[in-house]
Structure 1
């Protein structure tokens, strides 16, 4: 199982130089990928701009949107151009994780209907695939790509999301939960692949929240309660899923490896660049 690290783009007040320092250090330590979150109506960095900056600061590490709320972006041609540009700037290191999203305010800010976000995402992914494969597409913003474009991961737990992943993606991505729960969901993703008539296996990816070191847990809990405050009492679920002890993190990683996860991306919930080293000491053996 590969291990990635998330950039703390959604923690308010993180200096840009700290984000890039974290990206460079993650590559030096041997993490497989950098992840970024997406939320428009929150005090954080825009994920595609962040990955473009990280592309210039690094040379080998994959750059992954985990996930991009693509459906609120009104202009598919612009999005296709942005994604292709990051992929080319990075030498083909971009992986595009997408999901329908669950925050109405992000969609309202873009004058995009929240209620039809699933259908909109289907249309958008189909269009991106046609744009990159050279199929008939009047909105094609440039030359087609011989490689079919960046790999697509699709997130979500619903049957519709699983079907979407099997139809458009190379894999499926999910937020952190227990290893047994993730294993059950991964089985559903594999079944969706078979139902779609695919003979390959899905790449299984997951993300989890981590905060290690003195006072890190308390600060991370405050951040998570604020970030997931739109969920009301359910924000406590995110706090309960926070990993705060080295032994807990080792057990979590081992559990995901055992159920067949291909890549686990660990998101620091405190902002210091040194958090990358703290996590690496525990999980990179």
Structure 2
């Protein structure tokens, strides 16, 4: 029975960075991040990599001292220009003088601000750190004891997006490979290969493949909307609707559809 109490643990990034940034992962397979914008934390979904939920984060190394000093020099120059401009504005309100100089100082300030922005963008690119982790593996590392020789994390129900700790287990590569034939998605794929003779791949003018259609059908069963799936695959809502009704891709069947047909017989 799956544990119904959600427990959160910090996931160590093991990287030196300048951000206020922390990641927590629960035994339910959910991910929470903390940063300056969300100091109390917020749930994130991440994206998918070959069907597996993955989290990608961009962090930054500390700024080198020379870079920090140059940014500070820009700040001081901007403050000096603004102080001079404010002083002239006060005088101008009484005498009406200095208007050309005031306008010139405004342009100078805008030019320095633009230079500072360009410099910061350029130097920040150089100190970027790209971090990513697969959610199922992170859950296993935090909540499951790793057995000897285990290298991979498997999903007991073969659903790559069910990352509850009760659905995960450490396994050797051989163990993971040996259970592949029992994968319902693999069985459905082989069934469709038999129908088409050879596995149908998407052609140059075709946006969806057999694998895409199987994924769409499974997600429709799970309650995903037409719009969500259409946005994901960059197709129209009508294309997803036609798959749902069987108007298109009728021959491509999920495992549940195959079982239903067998039961009818």
TM category, shorter: under 0.3
Rg larger in structure: 2
